[in-house]
């Protein structure tokens, strides 16, 4: 009698459960469309850094529409790029993208690098973005660790070390890399990101809907409310900004390009008095900045706005806008550019200025 061989059922592994969940629940996003384009993946990853999907997606669509490929971006004017980026924040991302596009177009003959190590050498690209591009566009099995994935894996493996510190990151990177499949690593990385964003949320994770909760250590040990461990953030510093909107006799206003290495480098703004402490409004005309700016033009203050609070990742800005009339006196300032009011929309400016004009119902 010939003994029949019956195949044992395939074990429903972590990868299979996660992949099945991803195929059934993944969001329909334009940069996931086939064929995969490394340029689109790169642009989407940079825009979505430090940015919520619902905020970043319209910017992605506008960006790709205006700059559909590397060549278009590499030949663009930086001021136009910053203007398109206005309101998204972290403007160094846009400047770095422009630099990198030009580098790839000129030095690499328009060919996007196709390995993790080579992609990581590009300006503005860190380990996560390099891993995302190399795995999704080029099928390289490298774990892509963003905040969602750090949170998910720290809970799944019950990592007790802080995910903000080197030891915690190293543990999660090693454990995550061991999970990486050689087949379709890009889909696996996107599945990890998706489950972190939609299921393993920072607060009140949806564990009953998680396809791998039965093997999740945090879930089984009732640690989901404790993990991941994070170190306490330093308290954000407060700075006080006083912007001067100066009108000359032709009702023109003056702006300048912001120099230096700050977050708003190469963007435009009004004359600005910065202070570590709040300045009494009555003392502003006596300040050295005010005196040097207006010299002998005898300015007249039109209006002073209420204080506007603007929160950045590392500091809080409390800002007032002071409208100044110098129409009755000659006024020349070599460091500034004089423009008509309706021309403001042609210049990239920080979001707090944009919001101020929106409140005044003046379209930028």
The residues that are catalytic are 45
Residues 6+ apart with CB under 8 A from 89: 50, 51, 263, 312, 351
d(CA 87, CA 313): 14
SS3 136: helix
Place of tokens 């050498």: 121
Nearest-10 crossing angle of helices 38-47, 92-107: 160
Give the residue from 87, 88, 3, 13 showing the smallest Cα distance to 43.
88
Cβ pair 190, 139 in contact under 8 A: no
Record the tokens describing residue 188, joined without a space.
Answer: 């696996």
Instruction: For tokens 């940069």, name the residue.
Output: 31
Counting Cβ atoms within 10 Å, is residue 109 exposed (0-12), middle (13-18) or buried (19+)? exposed
Helices (H), 281-331: 288-294
DSSP-assigned letter for residue 203: S
């Amino acid at each position: 009698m010939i003994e029949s061989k019956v195949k044992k059922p395939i074990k429903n592994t972590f990868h299979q459960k996660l992949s099945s969940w991803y195929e059934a629940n993944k969001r329909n996003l334009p940069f996931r469309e086939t064929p995969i384009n490394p340029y689109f993946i790169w642009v989407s990853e940079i825009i979505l850094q430090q940015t919520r999907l619902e905020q970043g997606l319209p910017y992605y669509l506008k960006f790709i529409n205006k700059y559909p490929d590397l060549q278009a971006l590499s030949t663009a004017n930086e001021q136009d790029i910053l203007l398109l980026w206005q309101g998204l924040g972290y403007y160094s991302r846009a400047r770095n993208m422009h630099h990198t596009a030009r580098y790839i177009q000129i030095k690499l003959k328009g060919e996007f690098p196709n390995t993790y190590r080579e992609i990581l050498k590009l300006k503005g690209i860190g380990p996560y973005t390099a891993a995302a591009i190399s795995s999704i566009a080029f099928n390289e099995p490298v774990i892509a660790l963003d905040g969602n994935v750090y949170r998910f894996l720290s809970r799944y493996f019950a990592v007790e070390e802080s995910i903000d510190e080197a030891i915690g990151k190293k543990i999660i990177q090693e454990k995550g890399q061991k999970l990486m499949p050689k087949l379709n690593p890009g889909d696996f990385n996107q599945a990890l990101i998706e489950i972190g964003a939609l299921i393993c949320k920072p607060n009140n994770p949806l564990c009953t809907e998680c396809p791998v909760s039965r093997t999740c250590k945090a879930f089984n040990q009732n640690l989901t409310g404790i993990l991941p461990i994070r170190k306490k953030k330093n308290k954000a510093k407060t700075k006080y900004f006083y912007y001067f909107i100066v009108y000359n006799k032709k009702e023109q206003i003056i702006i300048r390009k912001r120099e230096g290495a700050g977050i708003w480098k190469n963007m435009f703004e009004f004359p600005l008095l910065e202070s570590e402490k709040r300045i009494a409004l009555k003392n502003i005309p006596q300040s050295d900045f005010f005196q040097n700016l207006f010299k002998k033009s005898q300015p007249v203050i039109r209006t002073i706005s209420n204080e506007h609070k603007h929160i950045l990742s590392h500091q809080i800005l409390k800002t007032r806008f002071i409208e100044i009339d110098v129409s009755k006196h000659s006024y020349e300032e070599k460091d500034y550019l004089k423009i008509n009011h309706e021309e403001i929309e042609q210049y990239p400016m920080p979001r707090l200025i944009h919001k101020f004009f929106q409140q005044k119902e003046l379209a930028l």
